[in-house]
């Protein structure tokens, strides 16, 4: 069940229930929607803050709990990555696609969200899921921050992308190497898809998250307005 008034319960096609954090703009008008996709550490204070930031920019933001099958309400510690692995290892493409559809459907039925103006953004694990989401539902555009596993695991989805993609990478990232980012670029170019690639040479994996040791203020403060401009351009 929903934990508090800012949460909704979504019924997924496999008959599971998934909680999702919702942040709305203060005014009661119609707004575009954005799916905010978590890191491996859950829909924690950082992800909720990102959703709140998008709400302040005029988006109906919803952050689904992707670990709802194994650990509803899970919030991991950035200092204890092994604790998240039992949950990340149980994620499947079929399950994630069902979660994406349930979240997208909630936005399309929401009476304060503009149909056809729905986006996604994700970080780390969620960066990969944001790319996946763009291949599953008709997003207007999608943003992926250091999405590990797109290459090689999801390169075959490039031809299915609905909206333009914006990718952010950290040049110091030891998990996502230059050959991985080149493979993503080559796949999208080969599929004739519209995309942007931004690499901050001085930033590491997780640079946008101000709760992580890898937080890089310079890169984060440049990436945020780029993200907003990209999304708002595709609202036109």
Which one is catalytic: 99, 110, 173, 204?
A: 173
Does 87 qualify as catalytic in the annotation?
no
> Active-site residue 94, yes or no?
no
Active-site hit among 31, 68, 99, 124: 124
Rounded to an integer, what distance in angstroms lies between the CA atom of residue 185 and that of residue 216? 24
For residue 117, report the phi and psi dihedrals to the nearest 5 degrees.
-125, 60
Find the largest Cα–Cα distance for the chain.
46
Token pair 């207007």 in the structure block, residue: 140
> Is 205 in the active site?
yes
3-state secondary structure 147-211: CCCCCCCCHHHHHHCCCCEEEEEECCCCCCCHHHHHHHHHHHHHCCCCEEEEEECCCCCCCCCCC
> What is the H or E stretch that residue 31 is in?
strand 31-37
Instruction: State the Cα–Cα distance between residues 173 and 201, nearest whole angstrom.
Output: 9
Any idea which residues carry the catalytic annotation? 124, 173, 205
């Amino acid at each position: 069940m929903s934990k508090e008034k800012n949460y909704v319960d979504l019924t997924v096609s496999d008959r599971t229930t998934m909680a999702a954090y919702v942040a709305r703009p203060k005014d009661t008008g119609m707004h575009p929607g954005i799916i905010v996709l978590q890191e491996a550490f859950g829909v924690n204070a950082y992800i909720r803050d990102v959703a709140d930031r998008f709400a302040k920019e005029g988006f109906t933001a919803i952050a689904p709990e992707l670990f709802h099958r194994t650990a509803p309400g899970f919030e991991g510690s950035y200092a204890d990555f092994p604790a998240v692995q039992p949950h990340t290892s149980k994620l499947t493409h079929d399950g994630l696609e069902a979660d994406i559809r349930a979240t997208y459907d909630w936005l399309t039925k929401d009476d304060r969200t503009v149909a056809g103006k729905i986006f996604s953004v994700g970080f780390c694990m969620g960066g990969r899921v944001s790319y996946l989401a763009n291949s599953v539902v008709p997003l207007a555009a999608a943003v992926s921050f250091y999405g590990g596993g797109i290459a090689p695991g999801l390169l075959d989805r490039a031809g299915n992308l609905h909206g333009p993609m914006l990718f952010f990478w950290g040049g110091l990232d030891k998990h996502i190497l230059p050959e991985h980012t080149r493979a993503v670029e080559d796949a999208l170019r080969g599929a004739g898809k519209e995309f942007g690639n931004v690499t901050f040479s001085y930033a590491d994996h997780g640079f946008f998250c101000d709760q992580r040791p890898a937080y890089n203020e310079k890169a984060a403060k440049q990436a945020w307005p780029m993200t907003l401009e990209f999304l708002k351009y595709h609202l036109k």
